[in-house]
């Protein structure tokens, strides 16, 4: 049988080298991918931190809303009656504040009974509720502020405190009744009061008015 003469197409196939990438090209590609991967990996801790903060804020908002709604549903005189007292606040002393709690919640927003040894390990969020029974308002015509005993201010602080340590109050504000920071957490542990900002704290405020 007579052999066919090779065509130009067949000749080009047989004479060309095998298709593929050279070692230099592969090395450059790996370097580019590695450089991009390192940048992405560096963003993971930041992303996780922002995700944790977002979850904390969402749960803190739900917890605070529950506490604020509970205060709104109470009789106004009960809200402005100091703990252990029997009569509502009557305007003396000025700028009086008190706090209740702490109240504990788990990571789903459920209330925790700290005396229950099975529930106590689940306590993640600690709540501080502060009541200012008389809210300072500007006087008509200017001048100093005047306390309105028919308008109470309720402040709710929600702290992400899974270690369940005691939290410190703002230094110097505990005895100063004119301080707006009185009876509010500083964000530090009571064992290290000079290191604020260690504990994430979210603060919410509402005002209640006497409706009768």
**pLDDT mean for each 10 residues of the chain (212 residues):** 54 56 80 78 78 88 93 92 88 79 90 90 94 83 73 94 91 69 89 86 93 74
Give pLDDT, residue 104: 95
Give pLDDT, residue 73: 92
Long-range contacts of 65-70 (CB under 8 A, 24+ apart): 65/204, 66/109, 67/103, 67/127, 67/129, 67/156, 68/154, 68/156, 68/204, 68/206
Give pLDDT, residue 173: 67
Cα dist. 92→65, 79, 145, 180 in Å?
30, 16, 15, 17
| CA separation for the pair 145, 133 (Å, rounded) | 15
Give pLDDT, residue 12: 52
**β-pair partners for 131:** 98, 154
């Amino acid at each position: 049988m007579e052999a066919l003469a090779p065509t130009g197409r067949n000749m080009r196939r047989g004479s060309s080298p095998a298709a593929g990438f050279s070692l230099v090209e592969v090395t450059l590609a790996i370097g580019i991918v590695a450089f991009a991967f390192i940048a992405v990996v560096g963003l993971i801790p930041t992303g996780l931190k922002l995700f944790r903060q977002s979850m904390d804020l969402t749960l803190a908002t739900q917890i605070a809303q529950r506490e604020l709604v509970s205060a709104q549903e109470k009789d106004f005189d009960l809200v402005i009656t100091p703990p252990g007292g029997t009569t509502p606040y009557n305007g003396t002393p000025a700028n009086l504040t008190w706090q209740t709690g702490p109240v504990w919640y788990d990571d789903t927003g459920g209330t925790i009974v700290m005396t229950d040894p099975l529930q106590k390990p689940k306590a993640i969020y600690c709540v501080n509720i502060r009541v200012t029974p008389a809210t300072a308002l500007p006087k008509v015509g200017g001048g100093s502020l005047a306390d309105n005993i028919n308008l109470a201010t309720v402040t709710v602080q929600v702290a992400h405190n899974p270690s369940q340590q005691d939290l410190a109050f703002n230094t110097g504000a505990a005895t100063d009744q004119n301080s707006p920071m009185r009876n509010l957490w500083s964000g530090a542990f009571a064992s290290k009061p000079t290191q604020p900002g260690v504990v994430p704290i979210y603060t919410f405020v509402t005002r209640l008015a006497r409706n009768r």
